């Protein structure tokens, strides 16, 4: 028998400790929660991402009464950015959530499907994506998607 340990590393910041670029991206993610269509869950999520060329894309979650036909904010933003600039890597994504009249105190993390899409994009461009997770009491900065999905299913998994 062999035992292995998987660890996730991230840094915790207050908003004022972040770079102006990161602050702007978080603010764009926060703005997007007002555009979410979430009549079923009441859970509004906004995401904003920056491409290597400086372009910024922001989106919100879009629910549908025929679950799981809706789509998370992270995937809406990522798919739109990749469709507009298919050859430009994503360098950072910021995510914020709002429910019951308030932003979350602690950050939320992307769902499994979003983690897989973020990982595919990271691998596609062979470039780490910084992940900013916003909470009013703390902000997590994660240096790449594999920190969120360490035992991942990737292209090499298909080759057996």
Provide the residue range defining the domain that includes 104: 11-149
pTM of this prediction? 0.94
Both tokens assigned to 124: 């596609």
CATH number, domain containing residue 135? 3.40.140.10
pLDDT digits (tens, 9 = 90+) for 51-67: 999 999 999 999 999 98
Catalytic residue among 52, 74, 106, 126: 74
CA 159 to chain centre: 28
Backbone torsions φ then ψ of 32, nearest 5 degrees: -65, -25
Domains of the chain: total: 1
Residues of the chain short of pLDDT 50, as ranges, are none
Active site residue 50: no
Tokens matching residue 57: 């894309």
Residue 160 belongs to some domain of the structure: no
The pLDDT, as a whole number, for residue 124 is: 94
pLDDT of res. 146 = 92
What is the separation, in whole angstroms, between the first and last Cα of the chain? 23
DSSP 143: S
The Cα–Cα gap between 80 and 77 comes to 5
Q: Does 126 fall in a domain?
A: yes
């Amino acid at each position: 028998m062999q035992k292995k340990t998987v660890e996730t590393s991230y840094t915790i910041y207050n908003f004022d400790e972040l770079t102006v670029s990161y602050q702007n991206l978080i603010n764009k993610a926060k703005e997007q929660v007002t555009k979410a269509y979430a009549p079923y869950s009441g859970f509004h999520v906004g995401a904003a991402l920056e491409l290597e060329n400086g372009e910024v894309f922001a989106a919100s979650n879009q629910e549908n009464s025929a679950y799981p036909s809706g789509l998370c904010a992270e995937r809406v933003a990522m798919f739109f950015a990749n469709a507009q600039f298919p050859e430009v890597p994503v360098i950072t994504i910021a995510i914020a959530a709002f429910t019951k009249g308030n932003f979350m105190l602690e950050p939320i993390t992307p769902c499994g499907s979003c983690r897989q899409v973020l990982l595919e994009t990271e691998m596609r461009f062979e470039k780490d994506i910084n992940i900013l997770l916003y909470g009013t009491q703390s902000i997590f900065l994660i240096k790449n998607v594999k920190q969120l999905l360490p035992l991942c299913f990737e292209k090499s998994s298909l080759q057996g």
